[in-house]
Structure formats: C-alpha cells, structure tokens
A = this chain, B = another copy of it.
Amino acid sequence: MKEGPDIARIGTLIGDPARANMLTALMGGQALTATELAQAAGVTLQTTSSHLSKLEDGGLISQRKQGRHRYFALADTQTGALLEAIMGFAASRGHLRHRPGPKDPALRKARVCYDHLAGDYGVRMLDSLIASGAIRADGTELSLTPEGKRRLSEVGITLTAPTSSRRPLCKSCLDWSERRSHLAGVVGKALLAHFLGKGWARRSDDSRAVLFKPEGERMFLSLFPAGPTAPDA
C-alpha cells in the first residue's frame, strides 16, 4: 500500500482552491508577481506567500527575483502539461467553474513596467536591438555595444554619468504578457522617456497602458524593425 510516488502530495497542492487559481493563472505562461497572484486567487498577500512557498517546495513553480519584485512561473513544461491533463479530465467529468470578462488589449500591446516599456512593443524593441547589434545578449546579461551607444546618441539620447549609479545600463526584464524579456535598466528607462518626451506616445490615465499616436507608431516601428525572432534570454 505504501508503494510508488506520492500522488497525495501533488493532489493536496493542486486541491486548494486558492492554489488552483494561482496555477490556473500561471497556465497562461506568464510569470506573475505575488501581488498579481494574490488578486487572481482572491486572498491576501500573506496567504499567497504561504501558498507560493508550498508550491515551490513541491516543485510546481519556480521564482525569479528581479529588483523588489518576484516573478513566479510554472516550474517547467511538464508541470504545464500535467495541469492541462487534469483540466481535461475535470472537464470530462463536468467539473467546471464560472467565466469572467475579457482583458485590456492595450495593456498587452504596450505598457509601462516601472519606468520602461513592456508588452508586445517592449519585447519587439529588445529583439530588434539585439538583432541590429546595438545590444549583446550573453545569457541573462545584456550589454550595450559601442554601436548601440552610437545609435542612441544619434537618436538624441545621452546617458547621464553611467558610473554614478549602481543601476546597470541594460537589464532584461520578464514580460508578463509576452512571457519573454524586454529591456529594462538605464537605457530602457531613457528610451521610454524619449518616446513620451517626443510625443510619440502617452500614458493612459487609469492604467499602465502606453498609447501610441499614429505617427509615433510609425517612427517606433521603423526604428525597431521586426527581425528574425531571437531566442529569449
């Protein structure tokens, strides 16, 4: 009777409604913060923290620290496949829940991530910068090349005293809507500031969305042409 793998442990982890909600939210493939997961699960941050550590101990999720944020994601594709299988089984037995409303497409297109650009456009921008040789990706590390420095000054971006701050020039940041990295750091901040300062885009009043004007969108797309999609850092 005490043979084989401990399925009860996996079952218990998935069996709590709050944890199931978190895992379901993570099935989107996006890495989410604890705060976002708390909202998804409908519990407080303290409770969420407890659940997340249990899920991590159980090997269902993994976390990635990034500044004062912690991004949580499913541990691997095998975990996603398992959840998918259980969902399929539950559906086949008629165990369904309710349905909510849609999400804001503008947020997914372009939004502010603290101080830099995220979303589809943010990911596209980093891809393009890497493809054109302005930024060199070495694992998770990003570094600005001389060529990149030249291009920035061409556009009119001057970097203020790089050594004064401990903050790195370039940094990769995980994108929750795209599940890929976008550009953070001093350069990322400067680029977003540039777009806003030039009037290419403006921030939404009631959300983190960045709304591009038609001409700004044209400028952005020509400045960062979509190259061959690079593998994510």
Q: Which residues of A contact B (CB under 8 A)?
A: 1-17, 19-21, 23-25, 39-42, 58-60, 78-79, 82-83, 85-100, 103-104, 107, 176-177, 206-208
Identify the closest chain B residue to A94 (Cβ): B59
CB pair B11–A103 under 8 Å, yes or no, is no
CB pair A83–B7 under 8 Å, yes or no, is yes
A6 to B14, CA, bound (A): 10
Q: Which residues of B contact A59 (CB under 8 A)?
A: 92-95
A20 CB, nearest partner CB in chain B, Å: 4
A95-B3 in contact given A78-B89, A86-B82 (Cβ < 8 Å): no
Q: Which residues of B contact A1 (CB under 8 A)?
A: 21, 24-25, 39-42, 100, 206
CB pair A90–B6 under 8 Å, yes or no, is yes
Q: Which residues of B contact A39 (CB under 8 A)?
A: 1
Looking at A58, A79, A82, which has the most chain B CB atoms within 10 Å of its CB? A82
A4-B85 in contact given A11-B15, A13-B11, A14-B15 (Cβ < 8 Å): no
Q: Which residues of B contact A8 (CB under 8 A)?
A: 14-17, 19-21, 97
Q: Can you list 7 A-B contacts with CB-CB less than 8 angstroms, sorted by A residue number?
A: A4-B97, A7-B20, A7-B90, A8-B17, A9-B90, A11-B16, A58-B95
Looking at A41, A60, A89, A107, which has the most chain B CB atoms within 10 Å of its CB? A89
Looking at A5, A21, A60, A85, which has the most chain B CB atoms within 10 Å of its CB? A5
